[in-house]
Amino acid sequence: MLKRARNVGYIILDNALKYSDKEIDVSLWHENHMAYVSITDYGRGISEADQARIFDRFYRINKARARENGGTGLGLSIATKLMEAQGGRITLDSNVGEYTTFTIEMPVGEVYDT
């Protein structure tokens, strides 16, 4: 389970680094037996039309930039399937020209404060 979560985090962080030339914020927290990882970049943002398809296999927002940034359009689709297989999910919040935030939500066992 941890390996899958690490792979999902890597996919989201890699996208943030590819599509933003500004700072990236990463937050982690837990509540009610769920762990959360939120990754926010302050780059281009994603339009509402693209948000509806961003998790589809092979979907690229700007196909002309595909060669420039690399990738196949599979990363977010794979990440979503990995999270769903663990009972989790990935959510998206974005405003064009401002920010994009992907939040990974996954179930965890008991969490003890030390």
Q: How many domains does the chain have?
A: 1
- Name the residue range of residue 99's domain: 2-107
Q: Would 61 be classed as within a structural domain? A: yes
Note the pTM of the prediction, 2 decimals. 0.81
CATH number for the domain that contains residue 10: 3.30.565.10
In a domain, 26, yes or no: yes
- Residue 62 DSSP class: -
- On whether residue 113 sits in a domain, the answer given is no
d(CA 23, CA 10): 17
35-69 pLDDT, tens digit per residue, is 999 999 998 888 888 888 888 787 666 655 555 55
Whether residue 28 lies inside any domain: the answer is: yes
Asked if residue 36 belongs to a domain, the reply is: yes
